[in-house]
């Protein structure tokens, strides 16, 4: 990916609405052909950033370059990007084909060429043959495809998608996640998507920028965000996690130790960059904790007897593929553990108020400095 040129360069962009800072000195390079996702909770500034790329908002400070060209003073209708709106914004008084053809008509393209490209775009989003329908005769998923085709038919440098799947039901959303990723792969256009849904982001993105309060908290590929979050916000926002505050008591190149009042001593098989006795946070994903009956731990779960905790099951929620357990530790803290139901009777292994032992590998805890 390093040989590709950035198609969008966001340079030190700040956006203020009155006293409120919506986007705070953000710099992002989005590469050619990338599926880039801006992920964050509502109000984190991700949509504002997207709207600044489209030209509907102007940055208070900083610069946005598209294809190497400064976009300052370039109106939305002159930018080489197209947008798929959260509400789809399909024109209700035009047929599907007229909707898709709208941008081309405005651009003054020849009629036969328009017809050809519209059909092509409709085929691309599997709406072939529905060109004469009115939008109110379409389902939500189909309307979204119209919005997609309407943008793609313009062959933009970048397609911007604002919460593209949020209005669809869960099953359709999962299906569209795959379709969008595949579509992006086929057309080779750079996609920039805004979403608050981490599953959506993880499943579709090449790279994700996690935003928090106008800042980019971390920018990384999906697996890195999950396995190597940069801070507590990212660790907590992406997936589910147990976080404990502690003091770094040992830090060597091959091992480290954190003393957490709420969890006990946590051993790691790698070094941490941090001063001795500094406050750090240990994050452990629920699925990386092994739960056994007390004293039944297998050797591989806890090499040399390290990383062990004891507690009592105080909550269970059966989700079909996994069961989530809420374990009250001896320190009084709670720890969330998930356990895959590998056989059809696994969920019966543990019951409420069972005493259990918990183990995790010294590579599993993530040490966060902020």
Partner 1 sequence: MTLFKRTPIAPLDYTRRLWMRAWVGATLFFLYAPLLVLIAFSFNDSSRNIVWRGFTFKYYGKVFENDALVTALGNSLTIAFLATLFSIVLGTLAAVLLWRFRFPLKAGLEGVMSLPIVVPEICMGVAMLVFFARLDWPSDLPWPLNLSAITIAHITFCFPFVTMVVRARLAGFNKEQEEAAKDLGASDWQAFRDVLLPHMKPGIIAGALLAFTLSLDDFVITFFTSGPNTITFPVKVYSMVRFSVTPEVNAASALLIFLTILLTTVALKLQDFSKATA
| Site for partner 1, rule CB under 8 A | 54, 56, 75-78, 81-83, 85-87, 89, 91-93, 102-103, 106-107, 134, 136, 147, 150-151, 154
Evaluate whether 352 touches 282 at the Cβ level (below 8 Å): no
CA–CA separation, 18 vs 60, rounded Å? 11
Closer Cβ to partner 1, 86 or 203, answer by number: 86
Q: How far is the CB of 83 from partner 1 (least distance, A)?
A: 5
Spatial CA neighbour of 197 closest among 230, 174, 220: 174
Closer Cβ to partner 1, 80 or 271, answer by number: 80
Question: Quick one: which H or E segment has residue 225?
Answer: helix 222-227
Pairing state of beta strands 61-66 and 207-212? unpaired
> Rounded to the nearest 5°, which phi and psi values hold at 70?
-65, 130
DSSP code of residue 72: T
Percent of the chain that is helix, strand, coil (3-state, to 5):
30, 35, 40
Q: How far is the CB of 54 from partner 1 (least distance, A)?
A: 6
Spatial CA neighbour of 15 closest among 70, 55, 42: 55
Closer Cβ to partner 1, 71 or 268, answer by number: 71
CA–CA separation, 118 vs 131, rounded Å? 9
Closer Cβ to partner 1, 103 or 264, answer by number: 103
Please report the sign of the dihedral spanned by the C-alpha atoms of residue 60, residue 64, residue 2, residue 45: positive
Q: How far is the CB of 72 from partner 1 (least distance, A)?
A: 17
Q: How far is the CB of 194 from partner 1 (least distance, A)?
A: 14
| Helix (H/G/I), strand (E/B), else coil: 140 | helix
Q: How far is the CB of 141 from partner 1 (least distance, A)?
A: 18
Q: How far is the CB of 174 from partner 1 (least distance, A)?
A: 25
Closer Cβ to partner 1, 79 or 339, answer by number: 79
Closer Cβ to partner 1, 83 or 327, answer by number: 83
Closer Cβ to partner 1, 91 or 318, answer by number: 91
Burial of 294 (0-12, 13-18, 19+ CB in 10 A): exposed
> Rounded to the nearest 5°, which phi and psi values hold at 366?
-105, 130
Beta bridge partners of 335: 327
Closer Cβ to partner 1, 102 or 324, answer by number: 102
Q: At what angle do helices 170-187 and 111-124 cross, to 10 degrees?
A: 130
Closer Cβ to partner 1, 47 or 338, answer by number: 47
Q: How far is the CB of 132 from partner 1 (least distance, A)?
A: 12
Q: How far is the CB of 251 from partner 1 (least distance, A)?
A: 52
Q: What is the CA radius of gyration of the chain?
A: 25
Q: How far is the CB of 161 from partner 1 (least distance, A)?
A: 12
Tokens of 136: 């109110």
Q: How far is the CB of 181 from partner 1 (least distance, A)?
A: 23
Closer Cβ to partner 1, 89 or 316, answer by number: 89
Query: DSSP alpha helices (H): ranges in 136-205?
Result: 140-152, 170-187, 198-204
Pairing state of beta strands 190-195 and 35-39? parallel
> Rounded to the nearest 5°, which phi and psi values hold at 289?
-110, 130
């Amino acid at each position: 990916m390093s040989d590709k040129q950035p198609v969008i360069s966001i340079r030190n962009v700040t956006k203020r609405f009155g006293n409120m800072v919506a986007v705070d000195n953000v710099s992002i390079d989005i590469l050619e052909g990338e599926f880039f996702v801006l992920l964050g909770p509502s109000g984190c500034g991700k949509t504002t950033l997207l709207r600044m790329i489209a030209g509907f908002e102007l940055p208070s400070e900083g610069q946005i370059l598209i294809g190497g060209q400064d976009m300052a003073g370039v109106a939305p209708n002159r930018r080489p990007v197209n947008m798929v709106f959260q509400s789809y914004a399909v024109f209700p008084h035009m047929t599907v084909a007229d909707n898709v053809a709208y941008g081309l008509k405005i651009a003054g393209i020849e009629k036969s060429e328009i017809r050809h490209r519209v059909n092509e775009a409709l085929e691309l989003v599997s709406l072939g043959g529905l060109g004469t329908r009115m939008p109110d005769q379409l389902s939500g998923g189909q309307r979204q495809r119209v919005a997609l085709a309407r943008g793609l038919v313009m062959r933009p440098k970048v397609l911007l998608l604002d919460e593209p799947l949020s209005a669809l039901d869960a099953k359709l959303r999962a299906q569209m996640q795959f379709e969008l990723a595949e579509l992006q792969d086929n057309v080779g256009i750079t996609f920039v998507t805004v979403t608050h849904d981490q599953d959506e982001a993880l499943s579709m993105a090449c790279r994700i920028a996690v935003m928090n309060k106008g800042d980019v908290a971390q920018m990384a590929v999906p697996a890195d965000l999950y396995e190597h979050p940069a801070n507590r916000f990212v660790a907590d926002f992406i997936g589910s996690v147990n976080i404990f505050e502690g003091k770094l008591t040992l830090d060597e190149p091959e091992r480290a130790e954190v003393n957490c009042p709420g969890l006990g001593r946590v051993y790691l098989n790698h070094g941490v960059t941090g001063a001795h006795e500094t406050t750090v946070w240990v994050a452990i994903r629920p699925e990386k904790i092994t739960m056994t009956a007390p004293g039944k731990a297998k050797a591989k779960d806890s090499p040399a007897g390290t990383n062990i905790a004891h507690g009592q099951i105080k909550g269970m929620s059966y989700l079909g593929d996994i069961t989530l357990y809420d374990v009250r530790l001896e320190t009084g803290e709670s720890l969330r553990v998930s356990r895959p139901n590998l056989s059809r009777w696994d969920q019966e292994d543990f019951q409420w108020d069972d005493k259990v032992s918990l183990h995790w590998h010294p590579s599993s805890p993530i040490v966060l400095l902020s």
